[in-house]
Structure 1
Amino acid sequence: MIERIGANLNLTQRQGTTTNNKGFGYYLQNALKEVNRLEKEADNLTKKLAAGENVDLHDVMIATEKANIALQLTVQVRNKAVEAYNEIMRMQV
């Protein structure tokens, strides 16, 4: 049996017929919280490394790069949202 595209994504509840009513703001807020968590984790590991604690350098580098990539993605999403807003504002009604 071929499943529909996105069936493995948790977008709808499997038990009932109700759909997930979480909006864009909810997902945006969770994404920003995750970026913040990654930044704090990288900062914490960097401080531990600088203090001479027993932290592997590659773990610090991986955490730093994860935080950097997440921040870059966030900035690009923001830029696209601002572009879309500006495009809507330029529309004549």
Structure 2
Amino acid sequence: MPIESVGNPASIMANPGYRNAIETTPAQAGNSFSTWLNDAVGNLNETRAASDVKTEAMARGEDVDLHQVMIAGQKASIALETTVEVRNKAIEAYQEIMRMQV
């Protein structure tokens, strides 16, 4: 995924789609976050499954490069750690909101 540079903020705000992105309802934002979270968990499962396949192939003695197995394992590990940290931050934010006095 390429990283694009940020241009002039005025040109971003002049984009008609920019106002639509800002003016979302809480329900739309919740659905968007839910969709993103489900996709992230699905991607985590795919990464873990790919790591398992390569590890099992190596254990069976198939022609698999050790560095590919290690890279797949590290990708799965990092994806899991990231998911756990996002979960922890979401729980922390929820707890902070619940502590707010209305």
Q: TM-score range by the shorter chain?
A: 0.7 to 0.9
Counterpart among 2, 7, 11 of residue 3 in structure 1: 7
Residue 67 (structure 2) pairs with residue 63 (structure 1): no
Structure 1 gap segments, 5+ residues each: 6-15
- What does 1:11-90 align with in structure 2 at a 5 Å threshold? 17=17, 23-90=32-99
Report which of the two has the higher share of helix.
Answer: 2
Moved over 6 A (4+): none
CA pair 4-71 structure 1, distance change in 2 beyond 3 A: farther
- The one-letter amino acid of 2:37's match is L
Map Cα deviations across residues 49-78 of structure 1 (whole Å, 9 max, x no partner).
001011110000000000000100000000
Q: TM-score, normalised by structure 2?
A: 0.71
- Classify the secondary structure of the residue corresponding to 2:83: helix
Structure 2 gap segments, 5+ residues each: 1-5, 10-15, 22-27
State the 1:4 CA deviation.
Answer: 4.5
Aligned length: 84
- Classify the secondary structure of the residue corresponding to 1:92: coil
Q: TM-score, normalised by structure 1?
A: 0.78
Q: For residues 4 and 35 of structure 1, what CA distance do their matches in structure 2 show?
A: 35
Residue 101 (structure 2) pairs with residue 92 (structure 1): yes
